[in-house]
Amino acid sequence: MEDDPFDFESDSLLATSPVVAPKRRKKVIGLDDLLLDHFKEKNRIIKRESELGKTKKSYTSDDEEDGRVAKLSKYVDDCHEKMTQLSDEDDVSSWGLQVFGNQKAFPSFEFGDLSSCSLFNSFVCNEVNSLVELSTESGETFFEGLLTNGWLLKLVCKCGKVDKFIAKWTFHLMLYSSKELLRSAAVEFWCGILLLKNEGDSLSLKIDWLPSYLELVGALETYGFLLHVPMKNYSDAEMFCDDSKCSGPPQNIRAWIKFATACSQTGNMHVIFSTSEAEELVIITISLLLDRQLLGLSLDLNACIQSLLSFFTDEEWSSSCAKIAKSVALRIPMDINSLRAVECIPAVCGPTKSLRSAVAFQILLRYFDKVEDEEEVIRELTLINLKDKSCDLFKVYVYLVLTENWFLYNTALKDRPLLNEMWALYLRNCSCQINITDPRSYASKVRSKASYLLQGNSDKLL
């Protein structure tokens, strides 16, 4: 039987017939395939060149990138500076006036002949002098020792008399000596003899010589005080410069202040100053409080003002207060110093409160032209258009503080309902017409100050 090719059951066929892989047919590449490959390769080249161009541009544009970063940084700095100005501009203005110019040469004191000094003669004639052999040549050293040890005051009190020579000599040491020990001792000596009282509250010590107002003011002029010259603002350089290069008061100014304070505390025992001279001393003391170089003497100057005001009687004070207020208002510049001139007056008693109110009102009169009475001042304040972008809110703030002091310390204004209503209207304008987001300088200060005054005085103003 011949082999049947379709006989699948035949094992021999499977074992003997090898498996032959079919032959692959070769692919025929046509023109279309070539064109397709050409365009694909061209696209790859174009894409690669584009990517290389971008990479090259990123490397070659570093300068341009730095320029853009610099511009952005400058823009941010400018914005920060403007925001800082908006937030800190309220504190830029600093008070401070130059009340002292160049100092003059200090006068010398001629110790001279001591034969007219009864205290010296009593020592010379005393038996004790046989041991110490006191003479006119050693007189100055001898008296300096008595003064610094406190014995000079005890001796004159024991004798009941202050010789003219002793009075002039100690006065000169107090105002012109360069030695702190002698200055301090001379001040203590004068304060002691001026304020000395006995149990009957009468004069217990005879003083042969008392300094006059001219001699006291003459010392200030020697220090360089600008008494009749309008005071000017310090520049930043002048305010913080070295003391050796700046004009200003010597250390003796502290002694001058203490002496003026003691003189005004003597009452009727020693009539040293007239009423007009006492008024001038008050003006001078307020001027001294406007000098930043004397900040360390603020307590002494405040005590001096209170002491000087106690010099006036109730009848004198009403007219003297108005004179002092007008003089102070005319003497200071119309800037932040006008607020300092008001706030440096300590409102601790009736005369100081009335003076503070009067000074504030007189300064307000200077700010408004052709305004003469109280109602016109308040009316001018209510007419200010606070919404106007050109409105100077710094001046509005100054008006606000001045008016507050004027009303707060003037008890007579409580019986003026029209003035109080207009004052309340001005406060409402300042509080409501200024938006909380207003970026203008002093906007937040004006708004906050007015809101505070309205809230704290609503029962009195509304």
Bridge partner list, 100: 225
- Is 197 a residue whose pLDDT tops 80? no
Q: pLDDT at position 61, please?
A: 53
Alpha-carbon gap, residue 216 to 223, rounded angstroms = 11
- Is 16 a residue whose pLDDT tops 60? no
- Is 85 a residue whose pLDDT tops 90? no
Over residues 403-432, mean pLDDT: 90
Mean of per-residue pLDDT scores for the chain:
78
Q: Is 273 helix (H, G, I), strand (E, B) or coil?
A: coil
What does the pLDDT look like over 151-177, one tens digit per residue?
A: 888 888 888 888 888 899 999 999 999
Over residues 94-110, mean pLDDT: 87
Over residues 87-112, mean pLDDT: 75
- Is 250 a residue whose pLDDT tops 90? no
Q: pLDDT at position 352, please?
A: 93
Contact 401, 339 (CB under 8 A): yes
Token pair 């307020």 is at which residue? Answer: 286
Alpha-carbon gap, residue 349 to 245, rounded angstroms = 40
Radius of gyration of the chain (CA): 46
Alpha-carbon gap, residue 392 to 394, rounded angstroms = 5
CA 72 to each of CA 66, 82, 86: distance values in angstroms, whole numbers, following the listed order: 10, 15, 21
% residues pLDDT > 90 (the chain):
33
- Is 324 a residue whose pLDDT tops 70? yes
Q: pLDDT at position 198, please?
A: 42
Residue 84, burial from CB neighbour count under 10 angstroms (0-12, 13-18, 19+): exposed
Q: Interior CA angle at 24 toward 18 and 25, to 5°?
A: 140
Contact 186, 173 (CB under 8 A): yes
Q: pLDDT at position 62, please?
A: 55
Q: 244 or 154: whose pLDDT is higher?
A: 154
What does the pLDDT look like over 259-318, one tens digit per residue?
A: 999 988 876 545 688 889 999 999 999 999 999 999 999 999 999 999 999 888 888 999
Over residues 245-257, mean pLDDT: 81
Q: How confident is the model at residue 344 (pLDDT cuts 50, 70, 90)?
A: very high
Over residues 98-115, mean pLDDT: 81
In the chain, count of helices (H) and strands (E)? Answer: 22, 4
- Is 29 a residue whose pLDDT tops 50? yes
Q: pLDDT at position 48, please?
A: 77
Domain ranges of the chain: 371-462
Alpha-carbon gap, residue 285 to 352, rounded angstroms = 13
Helices marked H in 21-179:
31-60, 62-88, 118-125, 129-132, 139-148, 151-159, 164-176
- Is 205 a residue whose pLDDT tops 90? no
Of the candidates 355, 353, 346, the residue with the CA atom closest to the CA atom of residue 328: 355
For residue 249, what are its two tokens? 């008061």
From 44-48, 106-110, 143-147, 371-375, the region with the lowest mean pLDDT = 44-48
Q: 56 or 354: whose pLDDT is higher?
A: 354
Amino acid, res. 453: L
Q: Interior CA angle at 137 toward 176 and 113, to 5°?
A: 70
From 117-121, 234-238, 247-251, 329-333, the region with the lowest mean pLDDT = 234-238
What pTM did the predictor assign? Answer: 0.74
Over residues 107-131, mean pLDDT: 63
